[in-house]
Structure formats: C-alpha cells, structure tokens
Amino acid sequence: MSPHLTEGLYELLDQITGFIYPNEVEIHWSLLIVVYPYITGLVAGAFILASLVKVFNVKEVQPTYRLALLTALAFLLVAPFPLLLHLGRPERFYEILLTPNVTSAMAMFGFVYAWYLMAVLLLEIWFEYRRDLIVLGAQEGSWRGWVYRALSLFSTDVSDTALAFDRKAVRAITIIGIPSAFLLHGYVGFIFGSVKANPWWGSVLMPIVFLMSAIVSGIALVTFLYMVLTSLRREAIDMRCLDTITSYLFYAVIVDFSLEALDFIHRLYQSEESVKILGRLITHRLFMSLFVLQILIGMLIPLGILVLAKARNFSDDMKKLLYFTAAILIQLGIFSTRWNVVIGGQLFSKSFRGLMTYKMEVTGIEGLLVALAVLALPFIILAVLVRVLPTKRLGDEVGGAA
C-alpha cells in the first residue's frame, strides 16, 4: 500500500472527533461525486427551461431555447466522466451496462442516462436542427458540408409538411422529455435518498430537493450563458427574454428554498435519534458551506437581488448586472448544496457518535484539478456546439449568417 495513502489516512485519524467505526475514516465519495450531481442537475434544469418554450408556450424565452438544448447536451456528454474517474476499477465500467443488478439504483441509472441522451436529447436536437442542417449542408463546401449532411442523415425534405412534422415531433419529445429529465436527476437524488443507513441522505424529500435545485441551477446557467454568448457575439440581448427567464428563476428559487426549509424544520421538529449528530455536523463541519455558501450567498442574496431587480425600475444595464451576479451566486450555492449532501453525508459516523474530516486532494485522479477540468469540459464542448449548430433558426437572425 502506498505510503502516501497511509499518511493521508493517519492525518484524517487525528482529526476525528468522538467515535467512528474504524473503516469510516476514509471518505469514499469525494469531490468528483459532488461534481456529478451538479452536472446532471444542470442538464435537467436546462432542459426544463427549454420545455417552457415548447410545452408551456412561454414564447418570451424562445431566444434561449436552442442554447438550453445545447447546454443540456454538452453537460450530459461530460456527466459520465466524474463517475468513470472515481471508480476503483474504471476498466470494468461496462459491467454496469452488461450485467446490471436490477435492484440497484446506480445500475438502472446507466439506462436512464442512455434513454435520456438518445431518445430525448439527441432526438429533439435532431428534429429541431434538421432544417438548418440541410440548409448548411447545401451551403457549406468540402468536409464541413459532408459533416452537416451526415448529421442530417442525408435528409433533404424541407417542405412545409416535413417541417410541420418536425415541430410536432419536437413538442412530443419535449413532453416525454420532462418526466425523463425528472427521472434523470431525480434518480441521482434517489441514489442518495434510498440509503437508509445514512440519515442525512435517506429521506423521501431527497429526490425532490435535488430536482428543484437542479432546475434552479439549470435556469441560472442558461441565463449566464445567454448573457455571455450575446455579449461575445456583440449582439443585442433580448431583455424581455431575460426578464422572463429570471422570473422563472425566481419562482424556482422560492420553491427550492421552501423545500429545503421544510426538510430542515421537519428534521428539527421530529427530533429523531440522528438529530444530535446532524446538528453537530452542520455546526462543526458544514458551517461555512451550508449557512454561508448554500443559504446566504447561494439563496438569500440572489433572492434579494432578483426581488430588487423586479421591484425597482432599473435600467437594462443595471438589471443585466444584477441578473449576472445572481446567476453566478446561485451556481456557487447549488454547488455547495451538492457538497453538503455528498460530503456532508460522509462526515458523520453511522454510530452517530463522531465526526470525520474530508481532505480534498489537489492533484490526483480525484483531486481539485481534475474536478476543475471536468467542470470546464462542458463549456469547451458547448463552444464547439454553438459554432457548429446555430443558436438561432437560420433565416430568423437579423443580418448575416449565424
């Protein structure tokens, strides 16, 4: 066994307070497992925003529709990476698809993921972009043209009936997509929520809270990306769109906050056996990440900012600044939420008598640098995607090709 690992564990041993089962000294689900639900949450949230347009006919949000889809795709493609890197034996990952244990939520997630990627996201994007792909396939020459024609599956029909079919298809897929998105991220919540051994995780509310915070983070992300993209392209931003998105963001934050407050109040009131150690957990180990980052900076302050922006008649520039700030703070908050759930759940002993510590590595396969790379990757993929796939319907944009 590597001396480095032993050293690390001896250090952790010294920082235990109270009593823990001896095997619990090592924190098994590390930073990468915090990154993973954060990413799938963004996927679900971005998709829900997209569904506002197609299913709930919120026309104001249309300018962000394609961006939301591409964002969901970019993040979904990266989602398996933190899991793969975290496995003790990553070369055996295929077993989870080949011979899954049907009673395991984690195994079933592989199929939920595949379904969502193929039957929902890729299909919807294809139907949405088919016309543009055909147009671009005809316009572009050499290998680029080939790529576009291949992406359109060499389809050529751009008649009105065909396009009408595409629109209906998109709507139908989005309708299926909403519960699928719920399933995608709700499942992650279920993976934690079904663990009866851990009272911090094992709760009926867990999938719901996960999902709501996912929607918050997804909407906030698309807000952020929309503002960045229009700014980089030196385009005028659609303020009505932005105002509408942030309204939905506001509602989502209210619901999320209410759910988390409910969870907290419920636990405190019910006062089960675990309430003492959990109280010590949040005051001694999670104080900064919970009270300061998750609640204050991640929820209350953005909520205040959004209220301010809505209530007062600010200039567009001022509103953009406020929205931008709120979006970033919310991302920090939701990331802290994931941290508090994943890491927090492992910082107290199942004997309910002690607390452990998590030492985040910087280098190493599960360290900070790798986590940052994994978080950066979807943005890189998205940058490629928005170059290849236009975010506005061709022919709709004002002046110049996309």
Partner 1 sequence: MRIPEQVKRLAVVIAVIAGGVLLTRFFIIPRSLVSTELHRSATVERELAKPVKLAGSVVCQGCHEDEAVKKSKGYHKNLSCEGCHGPAAQHAEDPGAMKPPAPRDRKFCPVCHAYDASRPTGFPQINPTAHNPLKPCISCHNPHDPVPPRTPQACSACHGQIERTKAVSSHALLACTTCHVVPERHKTAPRTALPSKPETRDFCAKCHGKDSTRADAPKIDVSGHGNSYMCWQCHYPHLPEGRG
Partner 2 sequence: MNKRDFLKGLIFFFPAGGVLSALAGAPAAKETEVQDAGPKGADAKGPGAKPYNSRDHYYGMGIEIGKCIGCSRCVEACKAENDVLRDPFFFRTWIERYVIKKEGEVTVESINVKSRASKEAVQEDADVLRTFFVPKLCNHCAHPPCVQVCPVGATFSTEDGVVLIDSNRCIGCRYCIQACPYGARYLDPRTKTADKCSFCYHRVRKGLLPACVEVCPTQARIFGDLRSKASRLVRFARMNKIHVLKPALNTEPKVYYAQMDGEVR
Q: Binding of partner 1 at residue 271 (CB under 8 A)? A: no
357 binds, among partner 1, partner 2, none (CB under 5 to 8 A by kind): none
Distance, CA of 372 to CA of 343 (rounded, Å): 17
- Smallest gap from residue 261 Cβ to partner 2 (A): 26
Query: Which residues, numbered 156-175, are part of the site for partner 2 (CB under 8 A)?
Result: 165, 168-169, 172
**Nearest Cα to Cα of residue 173 among 118, 217, 134:** 118
155 binds, among partner 2, partner 1, none (CB under 5 to 8 A by kind): partner 1
What single letter denotes the amino acid at residue 307?
V
Distance, CA of 139 to CA of 134 (rounded, Å): 9
- Candidates 155, 198, 274, 357: give the one binding partner 1 (CB under 8 A): 155
Q: Binding of partner 2 at residue 360 (CB under 8 A)? A: no
Please, are residues 254 and 300 in contact by the beta-carbon 8 Å criterion?
no
Distance, CA of 216 to CA of 249 (rounded, Å): 6
Q: Binding of partner 1 at residue 54 (CB under 8 A)? A: no
Q: Binding of partner 1 at residue 19 (CB under 8 A)? A: no
Compute the Cα dihedral for 177, 69, 250, 52 and give only its sign.
negative
Q: Binding of partner 1 at residue 153 (CB under 8 A)? A: yes
383 binds, among partner 2, partner 1, none (CB under 5 to 8 A by kind): none
- Candidates 349, 378, 385, 390: give the one binding partner 2 (CB under 8 A): 349
Cβ-in-10-Å burial (0-12, 13-18, 19+) of 12 comes to middle
SS3 of 348, please? strand
What single letter denotes the amino acid at residue 205?
L
Q: Binding of partner 2 at residue 101 (CB under 8 A)? A: yes
- Smallest gap from residue 330 Cβ to partner 2 (A): 28
- Candidates 23, 91, 98, 269: give the one binding partner 1 (CB under 8 A): 98
SS3 of 229, please? helix
**Rounded (5°) CA angle 258-337-239:** 70
Q: Which tokens belong to 320?
A: 């953009």
Distance, CA of 256 to CA of 325 (rounded, Å): 19
157 binds, among partner 2, partner 1, none (CB under 5 to 8 A by kind): partner 1
What single letter denotes the amino acid at residue 186?
G
Nearer residue to partner 2 within complex by CB, 86 or 319: 86
Q: Binding of partner 1 at residue 138 (CB under 8 A)? A: no
Where on the chain is the footprint of partner 1 (CB under 8 A)?
A: 98-99, 118, 123, 126-127, 130, 153-157, 161-162, 165-166
Where on the chain is the footprint of partner 2 (CB under 8 A)?
A: 1-2, 5-6, 9, 13-14, 16, 19-26, 28-29, 83, 86-90, 92-93, 95-96, 99-107, 110, 165, 168-169, 172, 191, 194-198, 346, 349-353
